[in-house]
Amino acid sequence: MTADLARLIADQFPADPPKTMGVAVSGGSDSMALLHLLHAFAQTRDVTLAVATVNHGLRPEAADEAAMVASVCAGLGVGHSILDWKNWDHSGNLQDEARKARYGLLAQWGRDLGVDCIALGHTMDDQAESFLMRVGRRAGVDGLAAMPRRFDREGMQWVRPLLQARRAGLRDYLTARNVTWVDDPSNEDDRFARVRTRKALAILSDLGIDAEAISDVSHNLSAAKDALNHQMLAIARNIVTLRAGAVAIDAEGLAAQHPELRRRLVVYALKWLNGAYYAPRSSAIASVFEALEHGPSATLQGCELRRKGKTLWIFRELNAIADLKAAVGDIWDGRWVLTPPSDPTGETGHLTVQALGAKGLSQCKDWRALDIPRGALLSTPAVWNGTHLVAAPLAGWPQNWQARLNRGEDTFFAAHITH
């Protein structure tokens, strides 16, 4: 058992593993097993571990559980941090909001420490439960495909070394080592869909629909998803151009594609623009396509889609980024970095990067010659000194300033899609 689990960990990492690795540990059996397995792995490969526990503050026992993890880490000689979630306004789905908070808090912690990646304790059982829940939501190929073993989110790389491990096997491993873990009482609360799904899965296993079977199906669907994405990107190279950070798609070329490939390309463009981890629902995309059949534009996920001549333009919606501000040199809207002239006159600390907007565009006299939709230019980054426009590098008034995408235009056409 131990040898098999150790092999799962080793197989997750190349011959040259990361120098520093974060581990998310809640105190449950899955994450506690991950901690001990990674600790053994790190000791023989000169890897430095750091552990974090997110305290959502939703149960009085949570603080004691985080302290228990801290005590275990101290015994292993591993640094530990407790990350408190304090900002929930009690709106939205609790489990979804808690999940988003976990990723945000852990990613910020990891960036602050400079870790190369953060390991999560998701198992084959988690995979099966997520699959069934998504079936209930009428998910398509992407939603039902296997959880990725590696992915990027919130500016951090994440790894899931235990996706081929069963929870029961991890508990046997811990028991054999006399390691205790915490059982969250919410895992038995039928108010939560995942708990009901877990119980349904136990019944379905009598029909051969168990975690192993679902894992095989989800990996088959992953292969199908990869093939569709490969085809979509091949099409994109022929019908897509990128201008001023906007996506310009040949409308006739798009219309000639299979509906699924059309949908996939538009979703990909939206996610490339807004940095969203999750794609919009298929019904929302269908509504956008219908709106474009009867009018020139539609909006979705903080982006505008606009037909202009024979081109479908997709760009950031001004309302979504109108209030965003960043210092010169920092990332604006999650993707733009503006740099001053090589010999700037004076300091730049008093300057800010904000959307160009209508007021700024009115000062860019030659913007129409760019042949880019006005709306796309309104949402481009510009340099401001209070209410005075200093430069608009993407709207024909650069003043020797430069604007670059922090992930580069070439990433749009990359063969690998991380989400």
Do the beta carbons of residue 297 and residue 304 sit within 8 Å? yes
The tokens for 386 are 């209070």
Do the beta carbons of residue 9 and residue 41 sit within 8 Å? yes
| Beta-bridge partner residues of 392 | 397
| Domain range annotation of the chain | 2-216, 228-318, 322-408
The per-residue pLDDT for range 111-121, each reduced to its tens digit, is 999 999 999 99
The tokens for 126 are 């988690």
Task: Tell me the average pLDDT across 194-217.
Answer: 92
Share of the chain above pLDDT 90, in %: 78
Topology at the third CATH level for domain 2-216 = Rossmann fold (3.40.50)
pTM, full prediction: 0.86
Task: Tell me the average pLDDT across 180-185.
Answer: 86
Q: How far apart are the C-alpha atoms of 141 and 144, rounded to whole Å? A: 5
Q: How far apart are the C-alpha atoms of 40 and 122, rounded to whole Å? A: 19
Confidence of residue 1 (pLDDT cuts 50, 70, 90): low
Q: How far apart are the C-alpha atoms of 223 and 229, rounded to whole Å? A: 10
The DSSP result for 163-221, as a single string, is TT--HHHHHHHHHHTT------GGGG-TTSHHHHHHHHHHHHGGGT-SHHHHHHHHHHH
User: Is residue 418's pLDDT more than 70?
Assistant: no
Which is it for strands 79-84 and 48-55: parallel, antiparallel or unpaired? parallel
**Cβ within 8 Å of residue 119, ≥6 positions away:** 21, 22, 23, 24, 34, 38, 158, 159, 160, 161
Q: How far apart are the C-alpha atoms of 263 and 280, rounded to whole Å? A: 10
**Cβ within 8 Å of residue 62, ≥6 positions away:** 55, 56
Amino acid 195: pLDDT: 86
The per-residue pLDDT for range 356-401, each reduced to its tens digit, is 999 999 999 999 999 999 999 999 999 999 999 999 999 999 999 9
Q: How far apart are the C-alpha atoms of 221 and 227, rounded to whole Å? A: 10
- The amino acid present at 113, given as its one-letter code, is L
Amino acid 419: pLDDT: 42
Do the beta carbons of residue 45 and residue 17 sit within 8 Å? yes
The per-residue pLDDT for range 42-98, each reduced to its tens digit, is 999 989 999 999 998 777 888 899 999 999 999 999 999 999 988 766 666 667 788
Scanning the structure block, which residue is given the tokens 């992407």? 142
CATH pick for 228-318 out of 3.90.1200.10, 1.10.3260.10, 1.20.59.20, 3.40.50.970 = 1.20.59.20
